[in-house]
Structure 1
Amino acid sequence: MLASIEKKKTNEKHLNNMKKYILSIAVASLLYTKTEACAWSDPDYDYFNLFTQSIIKDKSYLPFLHNYSSRFYTDFNASQIPNENIESWREFFGNELSYSETDYLVNTISMNDLNALKKGTPNNQLLNKLGTGFYARYREAIDYLIEAKYLEPYMRINYVERPDSFYYRENENDKNATQLDYNKTVSALISLYNAAKNPEIKQRYGYQLVRFNHYMRNYDAAVKAFKTYVHPIKLKGAPYYMALDQLAGAQRGLQLWNEANWNFFQVFINSKSRKESSFVSMKLSDSASFNNLLKRAGTNEEKNMVYFLLGYEDYTNPIPMMEKMYEIDPDSEILKVMAARSINELERNYLPTYYYASKDSDKTSDKKNSAETAQGTEIKKKELSFWQKIVLFFKNLFGGKKSDKAEDKSAQSNDELFENPDRIPTYIKNNAYYYDQDENQKDFLDDLEKFTSKTKEKSKDEYWQIADAYLKFLKKDYQQSSKILAEIKTTNPEYLEEIKRMKVLNDIVSQPKIDAEYENHLMKNYAEYFIEKPIPEKDSTEAGKYDYYGKVPSTAEFLKDVLANRYFLQGEDGKSFLMNNTLSDLQYNPNSSLVKSVEQFYRKPDKTEFEKQIIAKNLNNVGNIEAFFVNIYGDRAMKMADFDKAKMYYQKAQKFSGIPRDNYERYNPKTGNYEKLVYNGEIYDGFNNIPNLVFGHNVWESFQSSDAESMKAEDYSAFTFIKSKMNKLELADALIQLKKIGNGKDLKASKANQLIGNVLYNTSILGYYRHLFVMDVDNSNGGKYDFWTTEKETPYQYYYKNFAYTTFIEPDNFDLSLNYYQKALNLSNDREQKARILFQMASAEQGKYYQYETKHPGNIDYADPKWSEKNDAHEKQMAQLKNQKYRNYFILLKSQYSDTKTAKELMGSCSYFEYFMRR
């Protein structure tokens, strides 16, 4: 059985490692593949976007803002990007139509409707409004639109399937250019071109000629058409760049790489709606491509754009490229895009939605320690009012001596709270696990702040002041950030919204301690950020945006995280926990100290309105709350073998209504289905229906099998108070009676101590009933059954968000079961019983080894070329230690009891024991 235990532990380790490995590969791949709505994870849901990138004024650059889940930023409405072709048509029509009406006329109205207008019998609502005189005034334009709408369905290149093509495409009936009569189409377009009098309309016909030849793969003819019909007309509006885009595509087909890149580059600069497509069309895979563009760049705008493209592709540190752009034009829109991307990159590492590092981690973060904070980035403290200083003085004067306990967080001064390096926001290098990290990544906050401060003095756009204020917020210089915000004068609605949000952030994050007075301030001034409102169906606003990834992180959620962190640092763990979790979540990590803190908040008589409406609402339905708490306390007392205390708690827990698993389903081997958990009075519910097999011993190691298969009952005939099924109160009472009997000196006392030892072992992390005292419904595997533990007060470093992701249960004390087994061994004269007891002791001793092993990992870097050699050496060292210090009872069993029937039976059921006995 010990072999089975070791094998189970190794397999679970390998399984967990494999899960993590597969997860990391799967998630990392999202960086390179455009994430569709059905995907299960989106890295852009792992930050709060407090600095709204999209406030840039030139919306044509929206696709080039920063994100990870797709190549281009997509969190905007496509209609926000202006279309220069529609703007050009609107101007052509003398602004008689609105933008939307022009778009409808150009892109939606059918060719038949336009022909009806031409005949003087319009039947379309918009065309009726315009009247037949509209055609008379704009005859050439309407005739062109009729021809364009005729051609449009065919204006796509003919896809040619290659024999070795990776993707399978079914036969498609889509129209393409090859389905038009080439000579007839070209002849018609040339004729219309020659007949047109208006230069812009002529150029549009030229565009159609270039596009048609391009899609026919007549690349030389496309180039010639541009030179003949587009370029000679000295207009460089929307039609010109639409044609230039097609010319560049034809040049790509002719493998004229540099010419194609340059023309796509011109489209990128001059077109508003084609920036994304032209960027994709450019092939900028090496430094030579950029150098060629830079050599040809004749204007400051062109040079600026080249530097932007270079900075866009290489993002380890954007500042050097931004400096070059600043030298050319400190007021350029594209420089603001780079700044937005840079701020977003910093925000993801300063303000992630979850801090993964724990206090025991060797890779906690690259956050500055308190000494570095003092010497480097100084934390600007919030100024206290004169009255607050007086109150604080008297609190310190009469508040008694400050506690000498390092853990007494409530006694911290304002300065201590401000200087805590774990005070959010704080920098976490390579925080995200889902995309490849560049080893050269650095915290460029200081450099970007200097750059922004410099640029805001040169540029007239308030954008740079807002950016500067935000960077000072990240640096915890809240006073200066607030000062900058107060001085900004703007009427831009997006800027005003950002300024409003940042003022709230500065106020809350700069508060030294969150006390009752400040909680009242939050409810009075910022209730909108904390009181959840019902989300209307099909609401597409930020507040109600849901999809397969869950809810988009919001400013309100960030503020809740900040407050959870503040309560955590202040020692108010119960409030910190309830900011991010519900009461029922305690079942997943029923740590005694945390549960006690939550209970203290629950019983607090004078809660503030903030505590009532925001925190206490998470005291969700767990049935009888009093019974919920005392059941957890009773469980811990049982784990500590304090049966009298456990009984006292369990007497108050008899109204416990079951572990709250409303949406829990588990596999039923009898039906082969996953079925909703229903406490029907027969199954274990966290308090009732514990079988007497908990006093027995396991015959083989299988948590998935029924207890009747895995466990064997002892002889309980001498202990009539042990019932076939018990609740926890009855179990505690039975253990108390066994403990009294165990104080005797006879064989019955020996058996009583053995049964107590069995219960303690069977309910430990290694036992079949490992779930009884850790608020679990069954023994199926999970984080509660990892041997991971912490030397710290808590494994959490910032707050209790994602509570169930980290084990937070006090570890087993295997010495407790060993002590009872030792008493049983000393009082017994029965060699068979002694053999069984020694094997149970060997099993508990193995638990002590697992705990030691987990606390002393090899920590060998996989990148180490001698990893295999070092890992083998570490495993050899641990095996040697195990045999020297954690095989005492195995050795005793082998040396003195190998001839017993029990030992021989164990050899038949435990392969490792058989191997050990035959060595």
Structure 2
Amino acid sequence: MKKYFLSLAVLSLFYSKSEACAWSDPDYEYFNLFTQSIIKDKSYLPFLHSYSTRFYNDFKPSLIPDENIDAWKRYFNNQLSYAQTEYLVNKMNMSDLNALKKGTPSNQLLVNLGPGFYTKYREGIDYLIEAKYLEPYMKINYIESADSFYYREPGTGKNATNLDYGKTISALTSLYNAAKNPEIKQRYGYQIVRFNHYTRNYDAALKAFKTYVEPLRLKGAPYIMALDQLAGAQRGLGMNSEANWNFFQVFKDSKSRKESAFISMKLSDTASFNNILKRAETDEDKNMAYFLLGYEDFNNPIPIMEKMFEINPDSEILKVMAVRSINELERSYLPIYYYTDDNNTTVQKNSTNSTVQNKTETEEPKKELSFWQKIIRFFKNLFSSKKDKSSNDVKEDQSDDELLENPNRIPVFSKNNYWYDDKTKDFLDELEKFTTKTKEKSKDEYWQIADAYLKFLKKDYKESTEILNDIKTNNPEYAEQIKRMKVLNDIVSQPKIDAEYEDYLMKNYSEYFIEKPEEKKDSTETDEYNYYGEVPSTADFLKDVLANRYFLQGEDGKSFLMNNKLSDLQYNPNSSLVKSVEDFYRKTDKTQFEQQIIAKNINDVGNIDAFFAVIYGDRAMRQADFEKAKAYYSKAQNFSGIPRTEWNYDDKKVSPLKYPSGAYNGFSNISDLVFGHNVWESFQSSPEESMKKEDYSAFSFIKPNMNKLELANALIQLKKIGSGKNQTAGKANQLIGNLLYNTSVLGYYRQLFVMDIDNSNGGKYYFQNTDQKNPYQYYYKNFLDRTYIEPDNFDLAINYYKKSLEISSDKEQKARVLFQMASAEQGKYYQYEAKNPSKIDYSDPKWSEKSDAYQARLDQIKNQRYRTYFAMLKSQYADTETARDLMGSCSYFGYFMK
């Protein structure tokens, strides 16, 4: 199972849309609502579910008990704590122990233990001194081979062959014979086996195990450690079956060596596994063997879990298999990111692309309506006007039943899998049946918790809560999981989030919404740099649930601010969304939840009123409503600049961007070249290189440098002048057309009315925009990853150019205007092309032939519908100086003319 999922995860890296950050980790792409690590036996933590690493590692290593330290703690008669014992055995310097032996200890722990400590535990201390002397050398000597491309970690360069073989074996044998305590004697035996293994004296290692370890008949930590070394020597001799069996014993009996023993086992084929299963005599051995098969299996783990259940329903490793399956389900059912494709079909982004599916899709079982409810709904539908189902009016007028039945509620599940597999789509049902059966047999409350969680995934929140309420447990980790799941059921099952329920949330669940001060992290357990940010949590999931509830209820502003900052509106200024955010900002009677949880995301954008006014003014300008734009811009004179940030190298932090004097900041410092025309299309060149001024002599109100209010005033005056019938009126209309074209997606000043600071390429300048007022089907999470802005209306520019063409009598001016009209018409074609993409499957054997036909059809449409003004320019104005200049500067026009 794991290997299959891993392969899918790798494939998904090539398919998935790129993230906002270049770094991506699949284990950061699910909410972890069901905490894997609540298993009681922490020695199995490495075998929990993970995609980013071979073994799960999201836990403190100290959680896994070390049987060797436990054995030493018992040897010292529990005189030391576990931490003190671990320090003495693994970290204390050999010189400190030698000082203790001489009666002159300086280490504070040894001083506190007193002078009698060495006398009482002489054999143990002497062994530790010898072990610490040997430890730096206890590595196998590296031999260059054809496989030597493997990376070797830098180290001291020491290995076992640096020691004199004869002297070392003689010394260890003498110490073994002299030791009286059987456990210490066995530890020396372990050292002899290990030394022979690491010097590649494999036969001697096998003999040493039989001579020095086995006869003592102790099966504690030293025996396990020696058995591990014996298995390594057997592997060196090619005794793979024997090696596997002994590594299997280490895996079974050790708590701290399970991961290394698993790596050492070679279970890459069925025969290797069957050899272990044949030798398994006890139920525990068989159960452990099935666990290994289930862990490595490619397919559905349920059949293996059934075998393990028959052996022991209380098995801890059976819980490990179950929690891995639950984690896999969660990744499929509760993705952290949704996006909508060009056809407005919502897809769940899930990097793991698991094959686990559910046959019921997203819809919850429909509730049977009463006769009276059906009558009410009939008349309601009969007399209601048909509205766009996505409109806020419809959203706000939904009943609780309609909200609960909405298939877009989360948690949600759909065929989000690019590798959808019908054979495994019933996995949730199968696992639920297994869990229900197991909770009846097992005494562990874990299975009840797991069953409740699966009910939660199936949206049966009532039954899930009833199961949780019946659980009685003293396990603090179980109790925390139960508490969290009750919160999930409560909030997710709520049909509508109103003011009363918001007060309820603050009273009962504020801890999940109020951010806590960041705790200082242990530098020894975390990397200096965290490329992936914070791991998604229960709080993040609940935030998403509420954001989606608000969205379905038509409260887009609140939905947006649950996941985004106010300043984020600068990147995708959707007008209806901005209005909803502003309405929330101006709301005077905000609930405590709205004030503390939602309004905190109204961050620093300078003067907030000016910020909104610029967005509205820009939209009015794009619609050529200059009077409305002026009204908004008059309220934006305190605008301090688009709220961008930059990295401050001196302070080593992100700081607000400081706009240089004279630089465009979203409102001020606009050149009069915005009324000109482009000499050549080069967005990277300076304005003076790419743009050329028109004759402004008749329009003294056009200043060389303007802010947006002055620009709107100038356009209002041009519009008034353009209502006349003289040559000046024609020029005025031409200038208005120029500005509308120059600030469109094709223009040099395309940044002016989309809240951007320059004309560099970016998401705002794609033609793949929709005509919808709101392209979002779920909510506004990952808003910055989504490209959306209302499309340009090129007809606005064309209509002003038409007025200029009708009025003007100057043939050169007419030629220039026609070329500008043709350029705007080209924009209309690009929009058509984006809305009608090729749907030919690349795997189609006739892909090339069909693609050529598709392109030929596009070319035909282009020439028939979108070459009107090029054709007029060619047929009526080819002899003008303007046309000849354009043929030299515009290669496309030159090609068309020829």
Q: TM-score, normalised by structure 1?
A: 0.88
**Contact map agreement 1:380 1:476 (CA 8 A) in 2:** no
Q: Is 1:598–2:585 an aligned residue pair?
A: no
Aligned twin of 1:624: 607
Deviation string for 1:642-688 (max 9, x for gaps)? 2222222222222222211243899xxxxxxx998433552222222
Task: Report SS of the residue matched to 2:216.
Answer: coil
**Contact map agreement 1:546 1:552 (CA 8 A) in 2:** no
Pair 1:862–1:205, CA change in 2 (3 A): farther
The letter of the residue matching 2:717 is Q
Task: Report SS of the residue matched to 1:352.
Answer: coil
User: Aligned partners of 1:171 and 1:523: how far apart in 2?
Assistant: 54
User: Aligned partners of 1:100 and 1:437: how far apart in 2?
Assistant: 50
**Contact map agreement 2:65 2:255 (CA 8 A) in 1:** yes
Aligned twin of 2:231: 248
Instruction: Name structure 1 gaps, 5 residues minimum.
Output: 1-23, 32-37, 382-388, 667-673
- The worse-fitting range, judged by mean Cα deviation, of 77-86 and 157-166 is 157-166
**Contact map agreement 2:702 2:714 (CA 8 A) in 1:** yes
Q: Is 1:217–2:217 an aligned residue pair?
A: no
Shift of residue 720, structure 1, vs aligned partner = 2.2
Task: Report SS of the residue matched to 1:526.
Answer: helix
**Contact map agreement 1:156 1:215 (CA 8 A) in 2:** yes
Aligned twin of 1:191: 174
Aligned twin of 2:820: 840
User: Aligned partners of 1:560 and 1:784: how far apart in 2?
Assistant: 28
Shift of residue 694, structure 1, vs aligned partner = 1.0
Shift of residue 902, structure 1, vs aligned partner = 1.1
Select the residue among 624, 628, 640 that pairs with 1:645.
628
Shift of residue 114, structure 1, vs aligned partner = 3.3
Select the residue among 612, 617, 631 that pairs with 2:595.
612
Select the residue among 664, 677, 689 that pairs with 1:684.
664
Pair 1:538–1:570, CA change in 2 (3 A): same
Pair 1:374–1:262, CA change in 2 (3 A): closer
Deviation string for 1:443-469 (max 9, x for gaps)? 622222222111111111111111111
Pair 1:139–1:657, CA change in 2 (3 A): closer
Shift of residue 401, structure 1, vs aligned partner = 7.5
**Following superposition of structure 1 onto structure 2, how do residues 94-243 of structure 1 map, counting pairs within 5 Å?**
94-162=77-145, 165-166=148-149, 173-243=156-226
**Contact map agreement 2:248 2:262 (CA 8 A) in 1:** yes
Aligned twin of 1:717: 697
User: Aligned partners of 2:182 and 2:148: how far apart in 1?
Assistant: 44
Deviation string for 1:690-723 (max 9, x for gaps)? 2111111111111111111111111112222222
User: Aligned partners of 2:794 and 2:270: how far apart in 1?
Assistant: 63
**Contact map agreement 2:449 2:482 (CA 8 A) in 1:** yes
User: Aligned partners of 2:532 and 2:24: how far apart in 1?
Assistant: 6
Shift of residue 79, structure 1, vs aligned partner = 0.6
User: Aligned partners of 1:451 and 1:358: how far apart in 2?
Assistant: 37
Deviation string for 1:779-816 (max 9, x for gaps)? 11111111111254422222111111112211111111
Select the residue among 779, 802, 805 that pairs with 2:785.
805
Q: Is 1:890–2:890 an aligned residue pair?
A: no
Shift of residue 442, structure 1, vs aligned partner = 4.2
User: Aligned partners of 1:64 and 1:302: how far apart in 2?
Assistant: 18
Select the residue among 562, 572, 587 that pairs with 2:555.
572
- The worse-fitting range, judged by mean Cα deviation, of 570-579 and 401-410 is 401-410
User: Aligned partners of 1:780 and 1:26: how far apart in 2?
Assistant: 32
Aligned twin of 2:409: 423
Pair 1:871–1:651, CA change in 2 (3 A): same
User: Aligned partners of 1:652 and 1:366: how far apart in 2?
Assistant: 41
Pair 1:102–1:264, CA change in 2 (3 A): same
**Following superposition of structure 1 onto structure 2, how do residues 305-704 of structure 1 map, counting pairs within 5 Å?**
305-314=288-297, 317-358=300-341, 360-362=343-345, 364-365=347-348, 377-378=364-365, 404-405=386-387, 406=389, 407=391, 408-427=394-413, 429=415, 442=425, 444-538=427-521, 547-663=530-646, 677-680=657-660, 682-704=662-684
**Contact map agreement 1:379 1:477 (CA 8 A) in 2:** no
Aligned twin of 2:355: none
**Contact map agreement 1:379 1:476 (CA 8 A) in 2:** no
Q: Is 1:857–2:843 an aligned residue pair?
A: no
Deviation string for 1:473-529 (max 9, x for gaps)? 222211111111111111111111111111111111111100000011111111222
User: Aligned partners of 2:681 and 2:171: how far apart in 1?
Assistant: 84
Deviation string for 1:237-258 (max 9, x for gaps)? 2111111111111122122222
**Contact map agreement 1:853 1:878 (CA 8 A) in 2:** yes
User: Aligned partners of 2:125 and 2:640: how far apart in 1?
Assistant: 76
Select the residue among 29, 41, 45 that pairs with 2:28.
45
Shift of residue 41, structure 1, vs aligned partner = 3.2
Shift of residue 397, structure 1, vs aligned partner = 13
**Contact map agreement 2:722 2:729 (CA 8 A) in 1:** yes
**Contact map agreement 1:565 1:576 (CA 8 A) in 2:** yes
Aligned twin of 1:299: 282
Pair 1:380–1:138, CA change in 2 (3 A): farther
Pair 1:492–1:568, CA change in 2 (3 A): same
Deviation string for 1:251-277 (max 9, x for gaps)? 221222222222211111111000111
User: Aligned partners of 1:340 and 1:71: how far apart in 2?
Assistant: 17
**Following superposition of structure 1 onto structure 2, how do residues 39-118 of structure 1 map, counting pairs within 5 Å?**
40-118=23-101
The letter of the residue matching 1:378 is P
**Contact map agreement 1:545 1:552 (CA 8 A) in 2:** no
**Contact map agreement 1:379 1:475 (CA 8 A) in 2:** no
Aligned twin of 1:9: none
Pair 1:894–1:310, CA change in 2 (3 A): farther
- The worse-fitting range, judged by mean Cα deviation, of 585-594 and 550-559 is 550-559
Q: TM-score, normalised by structure 2?
A: 0.90
Identity of aligned residues (%): 72
**Following superposition of structure 1 onto structure 2, how do residues 704-853 of structure 1 map, counting pairs within 5 Å?**
704-853=684-833
User: Aligned partners of 2:279 and 2:851: how far apart in 1?
Assistant: 56
User: Aligned partners of 1:162 and 1:273: how far apart in 2?
Assistant: 31
Shift of residue 283, structure 1, vs aligned partner = 2.0
Task: Report SS of the residue matched to 1:231.
Answer: helix
Aligned twin of 1:384: none
Shift of residue 398, structure 1, vs aligned partner = 13
How large is the RMSD of aligned CA atoms in angstroms? 3.5
The letter of the residue matching 1:601 is F
User: Aligned partners of 2:332 and 2:380: how far apart in 1?
Assistant: 42
The letter of the residue matching 1:79 is S
The letter of the residue matching 1:901 is E
User: Aligned partners of 2:77 and 2:147: how far apart in 1?
Assistant: 53
Task: Report SS of the residue matched to 2:267.
Answer: coil
Pair 1:755–1:776, CA change in 2 (3 A): same
User: Aligned partners of 2:598 and 2:568: how far apart in 1?
Assistant: 14
Pair 1:115–1:539, CA change in 2 (3 A): closer
Instruction: Name structure 2 gaps, 5 residues minimum.
Output: 1-8, 351-357
- The worse-fitting range, judged by mean Cα deviation, of 529-538 and 808-817 is 529-538
Deviation string for 1:101-129 (max 9, x for gaps)? 32223223333443444445544433344
User: Aligned partners of 2:10 and 2:741: how far apart in 1?
Assistant: 39
User: Aligned partners of 2:331 and 2:194: how far apart in 1?
Assistant: 43
User: Aligned partners of 1:413 and 1:461: how far apart in 2?
Assistant: 41
Pair 1:619–1:764, CA change in 2 (3 A): same
Pair 1:134–1:380, CA change in 2 (3 A): farther
Shift of residue 396, structure 1, vs aligned partner = 14
